Structures are given as structure tokens and as C-alpha cells.
Chains A and B, each alone.
Chain A
């Protein structure tokens, strides 16, 4: 190649080089975007689960206050009646 007098046509290699560089960068940016999207989906799902867990806990404590489990003396009175 270096013994030739005319400049060789190496444009194909140049195009291949730039295509590779742009493709690798594109796929990396895409991977960041996809990973971020999936994590955001996971995050909203987990937040939803956390919210419903807190809600369930609250409901359970309110119900426990409204209808407490009868104590021994209450049970005896109920039995006498």
C-alpha cells in the first residue's frame, strides 16, 4: 500500500470505522435508557407494594381497636348471661 503513488481508496474502511463507533455508542446509550426504564418500573411497583402493606397494617390496627379480643373477665360475664 505504501509503495503506491496514488492515494488508495480506503473509504469503505473509514465508513465501517465510523459506523462501528456510532453503533457502539448508540447501543450503550440504549442500554442505559432500558436499564433505567426497567428500574423505574420496579421502583413504582415496589412503592405500590409498600403503600398497600402500610395500608393493610393501618386497617388491621383500626379493626383491632374496634373489636378487641375479649379478656378473661368479659368472657366469664358473657358465659353467665
Chain B
């Protein structure tokens, strides 16, 4: 494997630093919310991971369109990397939401439109990897994967707009009010700062993990090619 580029090393360091800064802002700088108490602090990471994950799924849809046009397998590799990192981030979002929900709603899970669409999105992309594993031919796998990711990408905006379109108990904290929401709160300037720091931090972490995952994919391709060459 070629040596890590200096820019990637810098990005690795920056990602760790940003994670530390975001944690500091969320746990120390942001004030304690009066109604929910300390558990409200998970909101910053919840928003940060949700933002990057949903954007990552949309980005993967764009990459699948590029693959379908160019038929170049490198776009398939970029798409897989984007979906894998987004899937991990979205898992964190769902788990944090569930942990927040217990003291706020008195239940770990409810089949509310937002929670349901989020669960469907996560399952859609888990199924994406299962689909890929079932196809041996790389071109066919990439083509099926691209079409699936393109259709799966629809679930990202549906999840985002679910709390704005349907009756839901999930709070609409950013740009919207929801009279049915339980656990909603208004943000003070320092809460907003902590939220934006988390958004920036998770975007940097996402880019860093994405780059590392692409390098892993390239290495995987190299090993596969060499395996074919040696075996023949």
C-alpha cells in the first residue's frame, strides 16, 4: 500500500482534534437544558452524525449516477465508501436518539414517522451490502449497486422531511416548530455554537474516514487483481 499522503495525516489529526473540540463544546461550553437535564447534550452529536450521514447517502446517489454514465469502477468504489461511512454515522444517530428518547418520551423506541423512516433508511443500506455480497461479477455488482443506491437515496430526504411533513412527536429544533413535539427546546447562542462546532467536526471526521475507506477499497482491488494474476 502506498504511504499515507501528508494531507491525509493532517486530516487524521484534525479529525481527532475536532472530535475533542466538539466534545468540549457539547459537554462543557453548552449550558444544561433546564427541562431535560444533561441528556440533552447528546443532541449535538445526534445532529452532527445525522447531518453527515444523510448528506453521505445523497452523495452516494450522485456517485451512482456518475458510475452509470461512465461505467468506471472507481466511482463504484467511491460510492461504497460513502455508504459505509454514512451507515456507521447513521447508526450512531439512531442509537443516540433512542438513548435521548427514554428520559424524554419514556420509551426507547416508538413507531413515529421520523423514527420509522430513519430505521428504514438504515435497513435499506444494510441490505445494499447484502445485495453486493451476493453478486460475484464486479461490473454486474457495481451496476446493481448503483441503481440500488440511487433508489435508496430517496430515503434520505424523506427521513429529513418526515418531521416537517407528518404529525410526529420528534422535535423540529432547526428551522421549524412542531406543536406535537415532545422534548423540543429553544436554543441559546452557546447551544447553537456547540451545534455548529459538532456539525463541522463530524463533517471533517466523515471526510477523513471516507478518504481512509477509499484507500482501503483501492488496496482491496489491487489484492484481487494480483490474486487473479498469480492464480492464472
Q: How far is the CA of A11 from the CA of B37 in the complex (A)?
A: 7
Q: How far is the CA of A1 from the CA of B123 in the complex (A)?
A: 32
Given contacts A7-B32, A20-B95, A28-B88, contact A39 B223 (CB under 8 A): yes
> Closest Cβ of chain B: how far from A34's Cβ, in Å?
10
CB-based A-B contact count at 8 angstroms: 108
Whether a CB of chain A sits under 8 angstroms from the CB of B216 is yes
Contact of A8 among B1, B36, B92 (CB under 8 A): B36
Q: Label chain A's interface by main secondary structure.
A: helix
In the complex, are the beta carbons of A7 and B223 less than 8 A apart?
no
In the complex, are the beta carbons of A46 and B227 less than 8 A apart?
yes
Q: How far is the CA of A57 from the CA of B37 in the complex (A)?
A: 73
In the complex, are the beta carbons of B1 and A11 less than 8 A apart?
no
In the complex, are the beta carbons of B35 and A7 less than 8 A apart?
yes
Q: How far is the CA of A57 from the CA of B99 in the complex (A)?
A: 63
> Closest Cβ of chain A: how far from B107's Cβ, in Å?
12
> Closest Cβ of chain A: how far from B36's Cβ, in Å?
6
Residues of B within 8 A of A28 (CB): 85, 88, 209
In the complex, are the beta carbons of B103 and A25 less than 8 A apart?
no
Flag A1-23 by CB within 8 Å of B: 1 or 0 each.
Answer: 11000011111011011101100
In the complex, are the beta carbons of B220 and A39 less than 8 A apart?
yes
Q: Which of B1-26 contact A (CB under 8 A)?
A: 1, 19, 23
- Please list the 7 inter-chain residue pairs (A to B) with the smallest Cβ-Cβ separation, ordered nearest first: A17-B42, A10-B39, A10-B37, A13-B39, A14-B38, A11-B38, A46-B226
Instruction: List chain A positions with a Cβ less than 8 A from chain B.
Output: 1-2, 7-11, 13-14, 16-18, 20-21, 24-25, 28-29, 32, 35-36, 39-40, 42-43, 46-47, 49-50, 53
Instruction: List chain B positions with a Cβ less than 8 A from chain A.
Output: 1, 19, 23, 27, 32-42, 45, 49, 85, 88, 91-92, 95-96, 99-100, 102-104, 106, 182, 205, 209, 212-213, 215-216, 219-220, 222-223, 226-227, 229-230
